[in-house]
Amino acid sequence: MKYGMTLLFALVGMLLAHGPQGAVIGALIGLLFDSSRQQRQRRRPTPPGDGFVVPLFTLVGAIAKVDGRVSEAEIAIAERMMGRFGLDPEQRRLAIGAFNQGKQPEFNVLPAIQSLQQWVGGRRDHAFTVMDMVIDTVLAEGSPSAGKMHILRQLTQALRISEMELMALLAMKGYVWNTGQSQGSRPGAGAGGQYAPPRRNTSGPDPYAVLGVDRAADDRAIKRAYRKLISEHHPDRLGDLPADLRRRAEARASEINAAYERIKSSRGFK
């Protein structure tokens, strides 16, 4: 903590009271000002252009281009992101430039992924929010290609998101993994290690997939998975996320709660 106001008020108090007692009273008043200022700074949202927007839109551009052409759906998602963040003209110019940079042939996505990893800083609530936005682009055209999934997995590993958690994030988007995989194989991988495209779940997300548990899991495992997920997405832990990211993370918490309630209702446990 910085103590500029504390020292200033201590000096003023000493001069006004002509003694150390006035300095002590002044220092206490100044300390209140310093503490209040520090609390306001901690609550201040992280500027979306600071270490976040450029690598995010660079990565989104690379994902959109990996199939050979950028679709209107992918461009629309990038436009919606800019609108949701409320980017000013200069930030919007940077975001568009980053998106176009990511579209360049043979673009290396690792620096952008590393920058997002640094911005996340080990916070899982931030990691899940970044994944949520990137997945929007990955799924923009429906079943994603192997190239898009490869970049998504690189980001997943950098942010230390597990395969089961990735399955849950995709399920929240209305997609489920192709269930025709052999036992013990990696989720989302078909024969020969190729990605098996997920199918659209028209009845809504599978609540078991949202929680990242198997349908055969016992009640205790389901409760444990729910508690772990909701603790990572709880609004009280969101900290200094920009407003749009906070809304998206809060929506995830609602989806987790809804999935858990559906399972509880079907199984009849409390």
DSSP three-state, residue 141: coil
- pLDDT for the residue numbered 244: 61
Tell me how far apart the alpha carbons of residues 188 and 175 are, in angstroms, rounded to a whole number. Answer: 12
Give me the residues paired with residue 199 across strands.
176
- pLDDT for the residue numbered 62: 95
- pLDDT for the residue numbered 6: 59
Tell me how far apart the alpha carbons of residues 13 and 19 are, in angstroms, rounded to a whole number. Answer: 8
Query: Per-residue pLDDT for the chain (270 aa), expressed as one digit of tens each?
Result: 455 555 666 666 666 666 677 666 666 666 665 566 555 444 444 444 456 889 999 999 999 999 888 999 999 989 988 887 778 888 889 999 999 999 998 899 999 999 999 988 888 878 888 888 899 899 888 878 889 999 999 999 999 988 877 877 777 776 665 544 433 334 444 333 333 444 444 455 678 877 878 888 888 888 888 888 777 766 666 555 556 666 767 777 788 888 888 888 888 877
Greatest Cα-to-Cα distance within the chain, rounded to the nearest angstrom:
85
DSSP three-state, residue 146: helix
DSSP three-state, residue 175: strand
What's 145's DSSP letter?
Answer: P
Q: Nearest 5°: phi and psi at 216?
A: -85, 0
For the chain, give me the number of helices (H) and strands (E)? Answer: 12, 2
